Amino acid sequence: MKKTIYLLPGDGIGQEIMAEAVKVLDWMQGRGLVSFEMHEGLIGGTAYDQTGTPLPEPTVTAAKAADAVLLGAVGGTKWESLDYAVRPERGLLGIRKALDLYCNLRPAQVFPQLANASTLKAEVVSGIDIMVVRELSSGIYFGEPRGVETLPDGRQKGLNSLVYYTDEIQRVARRAFEIARKRQKRLCSVDKANVLECTELWRKTVTAMAPDYPDVALSHMYVDNAAMQLIRNPRQFDVILTTNMFGDILSDEASMLTGSIGMLPSASLGEQSALYEPIHGSAPDIAGQGVANPLAMILSVAMMFRYTLELPALADRIERAVHRVLDQGLRTADIWEEGMTRIGTVAMGDAVVAALHD
């Protein structure tokens, strides 16, 4: 049956990079390698401007019906003064929740061609290949009660709740164990069990699952130490499993080991749905200039081929094409260095397409 891919370009550079990802999809389809329908919808600030909400109902319905969702980015200075309830970010959080995308995969891999791009020494970061598995649909991002209230004495009280149920921990941990099994078989679960009871439950729950995965070496680390170890000796990590907020923070840190957040894709998986998006944001400062790096978006398409469409050969092909354009010395501004050829968004997309051949 024909698969359905739902495109949500979103805001800022989201529009520009999505166009390049679509070129790759069109190429695959044009060669008869895969067959799918593509539809496009609204999310984020763009959706707010047109419909008054960052997550219109038709977007949720279409996303649920699709086999996979491809998302560009949301947010921008233009919408920063809006009420929290209608901020573009709410669209993103809302769709994660609506599709119950509880397992977020954020790979941090150093492209050998870009080993000098990191602010860390090449000998520290070369060869790193980390997969951050971030719980994405629960934890402090969604816990109740939450909000800001004004007390009788005039002070204000801000409150968010860190809540995890055992089944929520188990389902994401299961995915992490399984992923570790297909990699270096090392799983490090990151928590703050010395202070937060909720993450003590996290640690106990993950520990209790370990006997089911005797081939995986499970370790635990406090989040502050993990933040330090990621910079001190990142190669010690294979798969990192952690909560929603710790994963938000540590995945940004891990991405910077690679030198460019513009290179990193992500997958957000539920039982029924899957969403793929670059890790980077909407970059309003460079939006519309044609200079954004489309490679993270294109590599997100590769992840979609691997995890949802189950066509790993096509995922490999896209990743190989990206390596080829880097080997050719082609660079967008964010990854440019002396001696390389600086090109824009469209030229980068074209170069990847031209490199998709066998």
Task: Determine the Cα angle at 241 with ends 219 and 252, to 5°.
Answer: 120
Is residue 327 flagged as an active site residue?
no
Query: Which of 141, 164, 213, 276 is flagged as catalytic?
Result: 141
Q: Which uninterrupted H or E stretch holds 346?
A: helix 345-354
Cα–Cα distance measured from residue 101 to residue 305, given in angstroms and rounded to the nearest whole number: 17
Binding-site partner at residue 334 among Mg ion, ligand IPM, none, CB < 5 to 8 Å by type: none
Nearer to Mg ion, 38 or 231 (CB): 231
Q: Which is nearer to Mg ion, 168 or 248 (CB)?
A: 248
Cβ-based nearer residue to ligand IPM, 124 or 249: 249
Q: Cβ(114)–Cβ(258) under 8 Å?
A: yes
Give the number of other Cβ atoms within 10 Å of residue 150's Cβ. 9
Residue 253 as a binder of ligand IPM (CB under 6 A): the answer is no
C-alpha neighbours within 13 Å on the C-beta side of residue 84 = 5
Minimal distance, residue 122 CB to ligand IPM, in Å: 26
89 binds ligand IPM (CB under 6 A): yes
Catalytic residue selected from 67, 192, 276, 334: 192
User: Does the footprint of ligand IPM cover residue 351 (CB under 6 A)?
Assistant: no
* 11 belongs to the binding site for ligand IPM (CB under 6 A): no
For ligand IPM, which residue of 92, 130, 241, 257 counts as binding (CB under 6 A)? Answer: 92
Q: Check binding of 135 to Mg ion (CB under 5 A).
A: no
Q: Which is nearer to ligand IPM, 213 or 276 (CB)?
A: 276
Catalytic residue among 67, 100, 248, 334: 248
**Residue burial 244-263, b: 16+ Cβ < 10 Å; e: rest:** bbbbbebbbebbbbbbbbbb
DSSP percent split of the chain into helix, strand, coil, nearest 5:
45, 20, 35
Check if 141 is active-site: yes
DSSP conformation class of 235:
G
Residue 240 in the binding site for ligand IPM (CB under 6 A): no
User: Can you spell out the DSSP letters for 42-84?
Assistant: --HHHHHHHHSSSS-HHHHHHHHHSSEEEEEE---GGGTTS-G
Catalytic-residue membership of 215: no
Q: Does 135 bind ligand IPM (CB under 6 A)?
A: no
- Other residues' Cβ atoms within 10 Å of the Cβ of residue 95: 25
* Three-state secondary structure call for residue 147: strand
Q: Which of residues 244-263 bind Mg ion (CB under 5 A)?
A: 248
Q: Which residues bind Mg ion (CB under 5 A)?
A: 248
Catalytic residue IDs: 141, 192, 224, 248, 252
Q: Which residues bind ligand IPM (CB under 6 A)?
A: 75, 89, 92-93, 248
